[in-house]
């Protein structure tokens, strides 16, 4: 199965490359590939881009796509037993879940009663003192890992019934970094 890595490019700068390289190495190791696959990028020098890297045993494709931020305010809870522990190029299972969003902008995927991720980002919840991210996300995102490494967020099991007890919700991924959703609505 081909894997995907999404990297934020801003005015020619490759952001947080170390975390992306580490996830690629770990993902390839999980698939049984042990030889190094060094990522060398030559991004556009001006503008904001989503660098889309497709790989498996070898690097297969690199694309630079102009980035437009998606506005997210309303979430729909969707229950599933999906397994997305590696960032696969094939997102058909996630896309199928996303079709259940109804009037929402984004979904929150619930697995075994616990909050995991949205279709495109990890989640974080503010309890008035600290930010908490789900202990078991569908995918361990690079931004999530960077914020854990710097002690800006902490992990916990978050049951879907507990979402309303938090005062704020944030989404985080390579492209949005850590974005607080003001006045988030759960449908």
Residue 46 has a pLDDT of: 98
Average pLDDT for 72-89: 97
Cα–Cα distance, 118 to 123 (Å, whole number): 7
Cα–Cα distance, 114 to 86 (Å, whole number): 19
pTM score: 0.94
pLDDT confidence bin for 115, thresholds 50/70/90: very high
Sheet containing strand 154-156, edge to edge, reads: 154-156, 131-134, 122-126, 168-173, 177-181
Residue 3 has a pLDDT of: 97
Tell me the average pLDDT of the chain: 96
Residue 60 has a pLDDT of: 96
Residue 72 has a pLDDT of: 96
Decide if pLDDT at 182 tops 90.
no
| Tens of pLDDT, residues 42-67 | 999 999 999 999 999 999 999 999 99
| Tens of pLDDT, residues 84-100 | 999 999 999 999 999 99
| Tens of pLDDT, residues 144-163 | 999 999 999 999 999 999 99
Instruction: State the virtual CA torsion across 19, 20, 26, 29 in degrees, nearest 10.
Output: -150
């Amino acid at each position: 199965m081909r894997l995907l890595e999404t990297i934020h490019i801003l005015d020619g700068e490759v952001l947080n490359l170390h975390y992306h390289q580490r996830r690629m190495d770990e993902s390839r190791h999980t698939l049984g590939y042990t030889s190094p696959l060094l990522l060398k990028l030559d991004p556009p020098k001006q503008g904001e881009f989503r660098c889309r890297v497709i790989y498996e045993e070898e690097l297969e494709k690199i694309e630079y796509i102009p980035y437009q931020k998606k506005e997210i305010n309303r979430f729909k809870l969707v229950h599933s037993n999906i397994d997305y522990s590696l960032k696969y190029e094939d997102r058909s299972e996630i896309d199928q879940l996303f079709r259940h969003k109804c009037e929402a902008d984004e979904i929150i995927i619930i697995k075994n009663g616990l909050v995991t991720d949205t279709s495109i980002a990890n989640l974080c919840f503010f309890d008035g003192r600290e930010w908490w991210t789900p202990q078991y996300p569908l995918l361990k995102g690079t931004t999530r890992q960077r914020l854990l490494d710097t002690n800006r967020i902490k992990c916990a099991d978050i049951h879907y019934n507990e979402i309303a007890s938090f005062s704020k919700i944030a989404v985080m991924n390579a492209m949005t970094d850590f974005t607080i959703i003001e006045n988030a609505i759960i449908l």
